[in-house]
Structure 1
């Protein structure tokens, strides 16, 4: 009896709208690439940037068991501007960013 080809369990995640995350669990053959996972995306999902566990990835990269392939949406707000806005809403008179280590107390 021949051994079956090993399969990888991979998650494919994308965000259709702010605050929403869709995750699709895939079983792919060993040696599968990011492109193989992206081929399983539903129609209409834009592929701006791609990563594996938050690190930029290329379509030809091979996947490992347990990887999470992430499809990123384009940013609508500069991250630094979003941080400034959150700081204003939450209050606080201290600086947001310090270039120095805090003084010991």
Structure 2
């Protein structure tokens, strides 16, 4: 199983307008990466890819903008780290254990 498979069902609602673009980019980045053995390893991989994709570590708490995700609108390209830290990464890690 590849990590990208746990990104199939997209969450709703999103944090900011850039979050769906980040979700899809992470899915693409992890398309050829095998699912690790433990949830902790999965969390570490996702957090590292998040930092590479955004230029910010997951513990960065203030929202920020990623220019390549800007598609128009008030929060265009906006990433809400709290949303990823509290909702999305835990959701993905939970999917690690799902059959």
Work out which of the two has the higher radius of gyration on C-alpha atoms and give 1 or 2: 1
Q: Which has the higher strand share?
A: 1
- Normalization by structure 2: what TM-score? 0.29
TM-score by length of 1: 0.28
Using CA pairs below 8 Å that are at least 6 residues apart, which structure has the higher relative contact order? 2
